[in-house]
Amino acid sequence: MITADLTNIRIEKSNLSSLKSVDFNALDFGKYHSDHMFLADFNGGKWHDMRIVPYQNISLSPATAALHYGQTVFEGFKAHKAKNSNDIILFRPEKHWERMNKSMSRICMPPISKEIFMDGVIEMAKIDRMWAPSQEGCSLYFRPFAFAMDAFIRVKPSDSYYFIIFCSPVGSYFAGKLNVKIETEFVRSAEGGIGFAKSGGNYAASLLPAKNAAANGYQQIMWTDAKEHKYIEETGASNVMFLIDNVLITPCLSSSILDGVTRDSIITIGKDLGYKVEERKISVDEIIRSLKDGTMQEAFGTGTAAVISPISIINYLGEDYEVPAPKADGFSKKVAKILNDIKYGIIEDPYNWTIRV
């Protein structure tokens, strides 16, 4: 059993803030980082030495196991500055803690306790609260991650790890229209693999096909199953959803599809709005047919970074199919407003998803 030394977090504050160097009116996603970071060490069978220190580089041995064998996982979630107070509102951090531990379990990493994860998140939110943007559509993005630290290149699970949290003030992940290409050659993940885990290797596998697609004007890949390239799975940076004949359809979860927190949130809200929701296999043929016969009403990516990103074009086998633009009173607009109002504290959170700091 993994144990933790739950002593108080040691805090060393930065003597010089870089806050003034940030242009909050032009935030590139992930470009800037706040003044501090949270760390915890794992060795001797337990997590210990929880601390917050000034944001800084870390020193690694060239033999560090994570660099060779990819034993690393990460999460990402957002905090928003409340509209009617000075509070910082964290959106579903506990759900991200649960998912991080699922990822860690799959690649033989020791779990992080809820206390360590949440205490680190909340203390970081307190210390770097001034980094939360007040501009509409912007947020403070939290990046918890963990990786193997053994300086030992034999292939085996590491005995030591780092757990780190840092924050970035961010704007929108996607700008303008989102054009996607259905992938029929490359594979990101297969059943039985680690596609459901937020592990670095999953994203490395997507870089070449995404680069190829971008060269032809497509911002994202729409991945299909590894065996037949017959069924839709997800896009490169998000889950994917379709509104067809007023039914919300999204691929059912599997070992090759990420259990998205935004996905879960939209399904919950959609059901409460009275929409029929189907989590099932959805074939490429069904998507193309619905685009041709006009039953496709909306298609959009969903994720922490992407939030709800309407898809404008779906390319399949060299042919572009135009997706109808979301109507002002359409499904994605309604859900986006409810999510936004919850995240900014404009309305009461009926789901107990948020934490105010």
Give residue 202's pLDDT. Answer: 84
> Of the residues 114, 137, 170, which one is the last residue of a structural domain?
170
Give residue 5's pLDDT. Answer: 55
DSSP-derived letter for residue 190 is: -
Please report, as a single letter, which amino acid is at residue 167. C
Give residue 172's pLDDT. Answer: 84
Q: Is 23 exposed, middle or buried (0-12, 13-18, 19+ CB in 10 A)?
A: exposed
State how many domains the chain has.
Answer: 2
Residues 26 and 100 in one domain: yes
Ramachandran class of 283: left when φ > 0, alpha when ψ lies in -120 to 50, beta otherwise:
beta
Decide: 293 and 321 in contact? Cβ < 8 Å: no
Give residue 47's pLDDT. Answer: 96
Decide: 134 and 44 in contact? Cβ < 8 Å: no
How far apart CA 342 and CA 328 sit, in angstroms, is 19
Residues 134 and 246 in one domain: no
Residue 348 lies in a domain: no
Phi, psi of 171 (to 5 degrees): -105, -150
Could you tell me where the beta strands, DSSP code E, fall in 137-236? 139-148, 161-170, 178-182, 220-224, 232-235
Output the domain CATH number for residue 317. Answer: 3.20.10.10
Give residue 203's pLDDT. Answer: 87
Give residue 2's pLDDT. Answer: 53
| SS3 category, 29 | coil
Residues 144 and 260 in one domain: no
Tens-digit pLDDT profile for the chain (357 aa)?
A: 454 555 589 999 999 999 999 999 989 888 999 999 999 999 999 999 999 999 999 999 999 999 999 999 999 999 999 998 999 999 999 999 999 999 999 999 999 999 999 999 999 999 999 999 998 889 999 999 999 999 999 999 999 999 999 999 999 887 767 999 999 999 989 999 999 999 988 888 899 999 999 999 999 999 999 999 999 999 988 999 999 999 999 999 999 999 999 999 999 999 999 999 999 999 999 999 999 999 999 999 999 987 899 999 999 999 999 999 999 999 999 999 999 999 999 999 999 999 999
Q: Residue 181: which residues within 8 A CB-CB, separation 6 or more? A: 213, 216, 218, 220, 221, 222, 314, 315, 316
Q: Residue 97: which residues within 8 A CB-CB, separation 6 or more? A: 75, 112, 114, 117, 118
Residue 132 lies in a domain: yes
Residues 121 and 90 in one domain: yes
Give, in order, the Cα–Cα distances in Å from 211 to each of 30, 175, 184, 311: 19, 17, 15, 18
Give residue 318's pLDDT. Answer: 95
Residues 120 and 231 in one domain: no
Output the domain CATH number for residue 117. Answer: 3.30.470.10
List the beta bridge partners of residue 170. Answer: 139
How far apart CA 147 and CA 140 sit, in angstroms, is 23
Residue 356 lies in a domain: no
Ramachandran class of 192: left when φ > 0, alpha when ψ lies in -120 to 50, beta otherwise:
left
Which residue shows structure tokens 């991080």? 100
Give residue 1's pLDDT. Answer: 47
Give residue 305's pLDDT. Answer: 82
Which residue shows structure tokens 């009173």? 329
Give residue 334's pLDDT. Answer: 97
- Both structure tokens of 230: 């017959």
Which residue shows structure tokens 């034993």? 71
Pairing of strands 247-250, 276-279: parallel
